[in-house]
Amino acid sequence: MSTLSVLQYPHKGLREVAPLITVFDDGLRQKVKEMFDTMYQDNGVGLAATQVGLALRLYVMDASPHQNQPLCLINPEVIAAVGEVESEEGCLSFPGVYAKVIRAREVTVQYQDEYGNSHTLTADGLMANCIQHELDHLNGVLFIDHLSKLKRERLLKKLEKIKRVA
């Protein structure tokens, strides 16, 4: 098993916009495998390529209760979004802090798998949340960007405290 190191906020790499993937080769599939290993090792629900310093428009996720339904979304695009829901989110780039974020309740996403085949998926609950959170990462957007200034400052203060203790 080979894992990657996850960039921690405020690393500048987290603000990069990931370019579209056009080559679906063994090298890409190896990176995907390493991203899954990293996500599972860190007990994450999702991990975007920008979080591990890779300029690739992809993320891996597994929102299943037993972490046995791996999903890799390449060049994802949300084509429909319904409703609104507020739920608590965390992020591997912000270990130990959580915040409530408002997102679409249900989304339909179009994406390619690691062989270049196209798929469409409609999801709600944790999966919908994760799809949106990770897609944000590919655009250099972080979950704290969705918070009010006051809540963001409070969360970042808490993060600093956690880092000092660690």
- Catalytic residue list: 134
- Judged by CB under 5 A, the chain residues 11 through 70 that form the site for Ni ion are none
Nearer to Ni ion by Cβ, of 58 and 91: the residue is 91
* Residue among 28 and 144 whose Cβ is closer to Ni ion: 144
| Binding flags for Ni ion, 82-101, as an x/- string (CB under 5 A) | ---------x----------
Phi and psi angles of residue 87, each rounded to the nearest 5 degrees, phi first: -145, 160
Q: How many Cβ atoms from other residues are within 10 Å of residue 10's Cβ? A: 13
Q: Name the residue type at position 130.
A: C
Shortest Cβ 25–Ni ion spacing (Å): 27
CB 6 within 8 A of CB 92: yes
Query: What is the four-CA torsion angle of 139, 144, 145, 148, rounded to 10 degrees?
Result: 170
Cβ distance to Ni ion smaller for residue 91 or 131: 91
Does residue 10 have a cis peptide bond before it, meaning omega lies within 30 degrees of 0?
yes
Closest separation in Å from C-beta 91 to Ni ion:
3
Q: Which residues bind Ni ion (CB under 5 A)?
A: 91
